[in-house]
Amino acid sequence: MHDVAIVGCGPVGATAAHLLGKTGLSVLVVEREPDPHPLPRAVHIDHEMMRIFQGIGLIDRLLPLMRETDGHLHIGADGGVIRYLGSAGQARPFGWANDYFFYQPELEAMLRGGLTAYPAVDLRLGAELVGLDQTDGHVTLHLADGGLASARYVIACDGARSMVRKALDIRLDDLRFEEPWLVVDAELDGPVQFPAFTGLPPAANLQKLSVMLCDPRRPATIVPGRGNHRRWEFMLLPGEDDREMMRPDKVAELLAPWVAGIPHRLVRAATYRFHGLVALEWQRGRVFLAGDAAHQTPPFFGQGMCHGLRDVVNLAWKLELVLSGRADAALLTSYQSERDPHVRAVIGAAVAAGRYICELDPAKAAARDAEMRRRAATPGATAADLIPAYRQGVVGNGGGPRFIQPRVTDAAGTTRLLDDVTGGGFVLLRGPEAADIALPPCFDSLGVNVCHIGRDCLDESGMLATWFDRHGLGPAASVLLRPDAYVFGLAADDADLSDLAAQLAVTLHMMKEGTTCPA
């Protein structure tokens, strides 16, 4: 009997196994393919994903596989900029750059290989799930070779065609966006050849940006990749045939303006339907859907895989609390109540962008360009600004947003990222004038890590002080962070800490004897 079984060992499933394996839970990972998928699919993650990898100790192995970039640029029908979500030259409040591109086969191999660090993680490659049954106490998995396995909970990370979702007969909510695109991956021995776009921001470097061409003649996207890998996405026009568009001569014709005179090698060309879909149920009994099994988003802001990683980091800490007996299983119902609105908000932004990017009428495209330039985004806006706060679930007074992660100096005089100093998990960040007092009992039960600003971490950048000021907090205030680095709640002073603890006990469903906090 395993604590958790994970179906699928792509980047999302493998990350879930790392998160759970780090807690010491016994984890079974079932993956039907013996080797990572050999072709690139997802290509982008953001700073929040880097923070997740930092937390599970993989960041040093991950960084060599990444290409750091500067955001997203949208070009109108006339060849001029209509939207810029860039981060070049800006501060990094979350500790990492906003955008990183990677080569998925490398990432998957690294994540899978790293699972050997956890004795309680059982990775079974070449094992295909064909069915599952669940009772009040566990789930039984039926494997293609006739074998059986059992787990107290199951996370389905088995992709857009999820066998688990289909077996549970969970329907998808269609957000009414479906467009056919040709995706082309190539390796270039030189820079992409861009035309002379107008209105470029002074700091913009086209080789370090995701460039979206809102051209009614054929909308397209060009994105950087790690090393010499580059990707193009070309919208198929009405009447075009998928197979015809994947022919080598047609692909070469589409690439020609961008690779003129540059030696290159085609890696693959495949057609996709970009969808906006969300599962109506993310939990059925002891089984949870995550990643593409739970939702599919158009790729216009590169958030598809990011959604899946947020799913599993949200679910992993809650499963650990429940399986360790420190919280009631009712806590797990907050998974969908938190993640579903979050995902829908980001998919909504991507669908809205997709609708204007995919405009094929020249007159409407010209009107769109003029309107977007009139209401140009606030200077300094980035794609990270699209990620909303949590508004329900495990959220107390003042909670919901992602917390920043500046570089701070620890008590030994070493400058490190904040999470490396606090140790992660639940963190109570105390203002520089907060007193040393006995903390509420449930903080001890949850193993809350306490960090005093100015003593345990010196805020030389001033980012923490600015955050406190922006949220109306004085130097004696405290901020309670969840294990996923989202803010649970705020305490203006020590007198408010008991109220904050009581809110935490309620939202975590801490019903076990000895774990509730006094009101």
pLDDT digits (tens, 9 = 90+) for 115-161: 999 999 999 999 999 999 999 899 999 999 999 999 999 999 999 99
Q: What is the DSSP letter of 207?
A: G
What is d(CA 366, CA 374) in angstroms, rounded to the nearest whole number? 13
Confidence of residue 202 (pLDDT cuts 50, 70, 90): confident
CA angle 159, 234, 197 (to 5 degrees): 125
CATH 3.40.30.120 residue ranges for the chain: 407-507
List every span in the chain annotated with CATH 3.30.9.
68-100+179-272+358-385
Strand order in the sheet with 407-410: 415-417, 407-410, 457-458
Please state which of the ranges 2-11, 69-78, 406-415, 509-518 shows the lowest mean pLDDT. 509-518
Q: Is the pLDDT of residue 377 over 70?
A: no
| pLDDT confidence of residue 512 | 45
Q: What is the pLDDT of residue 313?
A: 98
User: Could you tell me the fold of the domain covering 68-100+179-272+358-385?
Assistant: D-Amino Acid Oxidase; Chain A, domain 2 (3.30.9)
How does residue 513 score in pLDDT terms, banded at 50, 70 and 90?
very low
Q: Does the structure show a pLDDT above 60 at 330?
A: yes
Quick check: 85 pLDDT over 90?
Answer: no
407-507, CATH topology level: Glutaredoxin (3.40.30)
Q: Confidence class of residue 379 from pLDDT cuts 50, 70 and 90? A: low
- Within the chain, all domains assigned CATH 3.50.50.60 are found at 2-66+102-173+281-356
Res 518: pLDDT? 44
Whether residue 86 has pLDDT greater than 90: no
Say which residues have a Cβ less than 8 Å from residue 13's Cβ, sequence separation at least 6: 6, 7, 29, 31, 155, 157, 158, 290, 291, 312
Q: With bands split at pLDDT 50, 70 and 90, how would you rate the model's confidence at 300?
A: confident
∠ CA 486-430-470, rounded to 5°: 60
Average pLDDT over residues 273-297: 96
pLDDT at 378: 58
Place of tokens 């982008």: 44
pLDDT score for 60: 95
What percent of the chain is predicted at pLDDT more than 70?
97
Tell which residue, 106, 4, 120, has the closest CA to residue 58: 106
Distances in whole angstroms, Cα of residue 248 to Cα of each of 145, 182, 513: 40, 12, 67
Give the architecture-level CATH label for domain 2-66+102-173+281-356.
Answer: 3-Layer(bba) Sandwich (3.50)
Average pLDDT on 377-381 reads 61
Q: Which of the four pLDDT bands, split at 50, 70 and 90, describes residue 514? A: very low
d(CA 138, CA 49): 31
- Please provide the average confidence, as pLDDT, over all residues in the chain: 93
Tokens of 501: 């603890």
515: pLDDT strictly greater than 60 = no
